[in-house]
Amino acid sequence: METGNHPTSSMGFAGSLGSSVPGAEVNVVMATIGQPVVLPCNISWDKPFDPKSIRFYWQARKESDEKGDYPEVVHVYNKGEEELDRQDASYRNRTTIYKHLLPDGLLSLLITDVKAEDDRTQFIVNIRGRETTKFQSICRTAVRATARFQTPDVNVSCVESGGELKLLCTSRGGFPAPTVRWTGPNSINDAVTTLTTDPNSSLYSIHSTLSVNVSAMATPATHDGSDYAARRPLLANVTFTCSVTNPALQETADASVVARDDCGGNGPRRCPRDAFRVRREKNASPTHRAPPSVNERAANGRRPGTRHAAYRPCS
C-alpha cells in the first residue's frame, strides 16, 4: 500500500502520487468475486482536518479505456457530503468510504460486492485541498477479481470407436479463464476442452474430454512361448489426472481416476470398474505372477495349455 511519504503539498495534505506522475507504481489488490474488498488510500493532513474544505472522488478505468483517462465515477465526497447520485450505475449501492476516519487521513474505498467486471480495473483518487483549485491524483490501485475452481470431477466410459476410452473432466465456479492439463501415459491423445461462462456471474465452467486408444496401449505378453496372457493390456491400473489451474491465483485443483476398462465389444456402454483386473485364486498375491508349469497345472486338476487367469471383458 502506498502511504504519505511525499513532502506536504500546498493543497493542505501530503499523499502518495498516482497516475499523474510518470512511472508511478500501481498497488494491485486481489479480490474474491462476491466478497468485499478494500482499496487502500492513506494521506497525511498538514493542518487539522476540515471536512468542509476537502473534496475527493474515486474514479476508475477499464483496460479498454484510453491510457491516463479515468471516465468512471466511483464515489464522490464533497465538502462533508457524499454525492452518491454522481456514481456510475455499475457502482451504485456497492461502495462505501470511512467518513469517521477521514480526520486520520484514511480515504480508503470499500467495494462491498466484487464482480467479474471489476477484474483489471484501475482506480484512482483525485483530491483537492483547501488552498487550491487544482486536483492531485493519488493512490492508484488495480483490482484482480478471482474465484476458486471446484475440485474437478473425472469420469471414465467406453465407446465403440476402435477401442477408445473416454475420460471427462468437469469443474466450475472459477475466474478468470483457467488452463486445463491432462497427465497420463505418453500415448494419450490431445484433449478437447470447452469453456463456458455463467450469464449472471461470468464465472467459468470447464468441460474437457480426453480420448485414449486402448489398442495402442496393449502389447503382446507371452511366457515361454505359451498362450498364457496372449495380450496384456497396459491400460490396467493406469492413472489419468485432470488439472485445472487458475492463472491469477496461481492455484491448481486436480483429480485423478484409475482406468480399468476394456473397450472391446459393440456399442457405447459403461465398463465395470474391475474390467482389467485378473481373476485370482483366494489369497493370491496382488502382483502378476508367472504362469504355473504344466506339472503344477496337472497337479491342480487343470488341463495343460489352459490359462490360470483371464481379463474380464466389458459387458
Q: Write the pLDDT tens digit of every residue in 99-123.
A: 999 999 999 999 999 999 999 999 9
- Find, among 215, 208, 150, 217, the residue nearest to 186 by Cα: 217
On whether both 176 and 285 belong to a single domain, the answer is: yes
On whether both 45 and 169 belong to a single domain, the answer is: no
Q: Would you say residue 17 lies in a domain?
A: yes
**In DSSP terms, which residues pair with 213 in a beta bridge?**
164
Burial of 63-77, coded b for 16+ CB within 10 Å and e otherwise, reads: eeeeeeebebebbbb
Q: Which amino acid is at 193?
A: T
The answer to whether residue 74 scores a pLDDT higher than 80 is yes
On whether both 233 and 167 belong to a single domain, the answer is: yes
The answer to whether residue 13 scores a pLDDT higher than 50 is no
3-state secondary structure of 61: strand
Q: Would you say residue 5 lies in a domain?
A: no
3-state secondary structure of 212: strand
Q: Residue 173 corresponds to which cell in the numbers above?
A: 465456479
- Which CATH number goes with the domain that contains 68? 2.60.40.10
Contact indicator for 57, 41 with CB cutoff of 8 Å:
no
pTM: 0.69
Model pLDDT for residues 267-313, shown as the tens digit of each residue: 333 333 333 222 223 333 333 344 444 444 444 444 443 333 333 33
SS (H, E, C) 205-259: EEEEEEEEECHHHEEECCCCCCCCCCEEECCCCEEEEEEEEECCCCEEEEEEEEE
Count of the separate structural domains present in the chain? 2
Q: Look at the block and give the residue holding cell 489352459.
A: 306
3-state secondary structure of 294: helix
Domain encompassing residue 271: 153-299
On whether both 177 and 261 belong to a single domain, the answer is: yes
